[in-house]
Amino acid sequence: MIYAFPHDELKPLTRTFTDSLSELGNLKLEHLPQDYNGSALTLIESLSSLIILGNHTEFERAVFWLSENLNFDVDARVNLFECNIRVLGGLVSAHILATDSTIRFVQGSYMNQLLILAKDLGQRFLPAFETPTSLPYAWINLKHGVMVNETTETSTSGCGSLILEMGALSRLTGDPRFESAALRALRRLWSMRSSLNLLGTTLDVETGEWIEYSSGIGAGVDSFYEYLYKAHILFGKEEYWRMFQSAYLGVQKYFRYGPWYHEADMRTGKATYWQLTSLQAFWPGLQVLVGDITAANSSHREFVHVWKKYGVLPERYLLDHQIVHPTEKYYPLRPELAESTFYLYQATKDPWYIEVGESIVKSLNLYTRVNGGFASVRDVTSMQLEDHQHSFFLAETCKYLYLLFDDTFWASRNYVFTTEGHPLPVLRDWHDRLPEAYIPSNWTYVKDDMQTRRASSMSLQLCPATMLDSWRPAPPIESACHIPDSRSDHRCLTDEDCGVDSTSCRRRSCSVSGYCGLWQFS
């Protein structure tokens, strides 16, 4: 706020700013007041954080400044995905917060200024979806649309992680074009999955063909999985649930190796790269939302182990050699580990997660804090710093750490956080209908003995813990996909007597000696 106004992001070492964002280009600011200390992109990203902190005065100043100065009619080539999650998501979320009855504006009246800006931006996104496949271009010029000879390559996240922000924009404005465009793209992307329910990393939006078949839960794919489930929560569509259920089981079957997740070929399920990436650290948080706490805790502890090994989390870590990647040693203040820590504490109230959060805070203060802010780490082995503080540091990293220690905002509300940490409320009016599995009158069937034993918690849309009957001894439900064997001693006559393995999510089979196990391998 002191050094970067009115530019996009802070350079904390030199106490200057940067406008050369490769993701976003430059947004146009007009009639800049000389006495206002603010920053365009970082300011947009920080709006909801101001509310969570209880700083309503600064939130009001930011809202009115943006409404008077931000203009999207600019000749700038921006990344659709990044602009969607950062700018559109920030504006939509802040609009909802600004209309909350607990927010009182003192200097003027809020007249939907942020929503007007969000709709203008959303309309400028729409030309990107005008492709033969309905999959959007990765880059769009805010003034001129898709440029001549624009690249046709995009990522799975890039075209499959738009539904929350654009769906919310449609619900708020009554204009269905935004949600329809995002949903068409998502459906087309899902139709391109392999027979194993896996997707690749990059594809061509003109031909609908995959470019990179190797995939995982990290960069290029991560938020696709996140948005399938969160869209189900936010909008209540069973279609999103069915997509997520199939995709989640595919991940657990083909990417998971113990507590780790490697990358694999979407066509065969064979492992391709044995590496951990910092972006994968979001996965335990998503598993908490699913109710798969055991699996979430297992993976989260491995990320914490790597964090403690280096003091921060390297961008890429080679699992097969147990060393940091030689060329991707940096840590750009990413939020994913803090995010998962927050969710796991909310689910378990285990004080160990508070200790993890405290360790993260101490590391950030020890290694990255400088006089001008917080600097990214260029090399985790030497702790050499880089002159960049990404806007997501305030939008997510600090937000999740704050909520870990003070969840007042979260405790009294029902929100879904976007992949950029912007809260969107779960509203009955936004649901097409409430899923039948969540209606209490329909819960009685869960107590049926055979039904409970022969179905996974995921197929019943229940947390694994609710599958346990205190009045009847039963094998523990260890994960969302786990189906116990018919008998507690694992004896069997046919494959039908065997369940689904909790770790690999693979179907168990009956051996010639009459015991259930993972005897068959594909």
Domain ranges of the chain: 9-273+390-430, 482-521
Q: Name the region of 149 (left: φ>0; alpha: ψ -120 to 50; beta: rest).
A: left
Spatial separation of the C-alpha atoms in residues 463 and 3, rounded to whole Å: 47
Contacts of 294 (CB under 8 A, 6+ apart): 464, 478, 479, 502
What is the dihedral sign for C-alpha 517, 520, 521, 522?
A: negative
Does the annotation mark 222 as catalytic?
A: yes
Q: 9, 45, 179, 222: which is the annotated catalytic residue?
A: 222
Q: What spatial distance separates the first Cα and last Cα of the chain, rounded to whole Å?
A: 56
Q: 315, 339, 396, 501: which is the annotated catalytic residue?
A: 315
With beta carbons less than 8 A apart as the criterion, state whether 470 and 274 touch: no
Residue type, position 407, single letter: D
Burial classification of residue 456, based on how many CB atoms lie within 10 Å of its CB (0-12 exposed, 13-18 middle, 19 or more buried): buried
Contacts of 201 (CB under 8 A, 6+ apart): 155, 156, 211, 212, 213, 214, 215, 216, 219, 220, 221
- pLDDT value of residue 454: 66
Task: Give the predicted TM-score (pTM) of the model.
Answer: 0.88
Residues of the chain with pLDDT under 70: 20-39, 433-454, 465-477, 520-522
Radius of gyration for the chain, computed over Cα atoms and rounded to the nearest angstrom: 23
Does the annotation mark 495 as catalytic?
A: no
Q: Of 31, 102, 105, nearest to 71 (Cα)?
A: 31
Spatial separation of the C-alpha atoms in residues 46 and 91, rounded to whole Å: 10
Contacts of 365 (CB under 8 A, 6+ apart): none
Spatial separation of the C-alpha atoms in residues 409 and 97, rounded to whole Å: 12
With beta carbons less than 8 A apart as the criterion, state whether 113 and 140 touch: no
Q: Which helix (H) or strand (E) holds 296?
A: helix 293-310
b/e 418-438 (16+ beta carbons within 10 angstroms → b): bbbbbbbeeeeebeeeeeeee
Spatial separation of the C-alpha atoms in residues 272 and 270, rounded to whole Å: 6
Longest dimension (CA), the chain: 82
503 is in an annotated binding site: no
Give me the helix-helix angle, 283-290 and 336-348, nearest 10°: 30
Residue type, position 4, single letter: A
Fold of 9-273+390-430: Glycosyltransferase (1.50.10)
CA 207 to centroid of chain Cα atoms: 27
- In 47-121, at which residue ranges do the beta strands (DSSP E only) sit? 70-71, 77-79
Q: 9, 336, 396, 485: which is the annotated catalytic residue?
A: 336
Q: 45, 60, 82, 302: which is the annotated catalytic residue?
A: 82
Cα–Cα–Cα angle for 28, 32, 36, nearest 5°?
A: 125
